[in-house]
Amino acid sequence: MYAFTPDRSLPRSELYRELAASARALVAGEPDGVANMANLSALIWQFVDRLNWAGFYRVVDGQLVLGPFQGKAACIRIPFGQGVCGAAAQSGETQLVPDVHAFPGHIACDAASRSELVVPVIRGGQVIAVIDLDSPEPGRFDAEDAAGIEALAKVIAAVI
């Protein structure tokens, strides 16, 4: 059994360090990428507050395909370049969107989402997945959140 209890009194930068350390411990020795993504989406859900969706889209045959997540049912396939996730996958760069309604081509899987953070997971110079976080709060994510999830993406790139 795994018991990870985030200390919400910590500064967010430290909380994200704990998230990365917990992720390392959680996936240690497990070779199955889907199992690891499932546990990691649950871990993100536990550590990052004020979310309505947290999970993965995997790169499969040149498009993003829904992976393990926490939240409401979601879009299954997203072409590269479409929506926030597709933009992150195509560019290989983090997308920090304070107002999803202002993002050209935003794909609304959950109408309650107002802001989004999408971080590409890169292995061997290729985007292999994206970590997608949605919040019902406008402006929920900032550079500190982006840096924390980018650090997590580096930690997990070899195990998903």
pLDDT per residue over 60-114, tens digit each?
A: 999 999 999 999 999 999 999 999 999 999 999 999 999 998 887 777 777 788 9
Predicted structure pTM score:
0.95
d(CA 123, CA 84): 20
Contacts of 10 (CB under 8 A, 6+ apart): 18
Helix H segments across 28-142?
Answer: 33-47, 83-91
What is the structure's pLDDT at 24?
95
d(CA 24, CA 86): 27
- DSSP H or E run through 17: helix 12-27
d(CA 83, CA 98): 14
Domains in the chain with CATH codes: 12-156 (3.30.450.40)
pLDDT per residue over 41-54, tens digit each?
A: 999 999 999 999 99
What is the structure's pLDDT at 111?
75
What's the Cα-to-Cα distance from 58 to each of 19, 74, 139, 156, rounded to whole Å?
21, 13, 26, 13
d(CA 160, CA 31): 8
Q: Of 159, 157, 152, whose CA–CA distance to 20 is shortest?
A: 152
The amino acid sitting at 27 is V
Q: What single DSSP character describes residue 158?
A: T
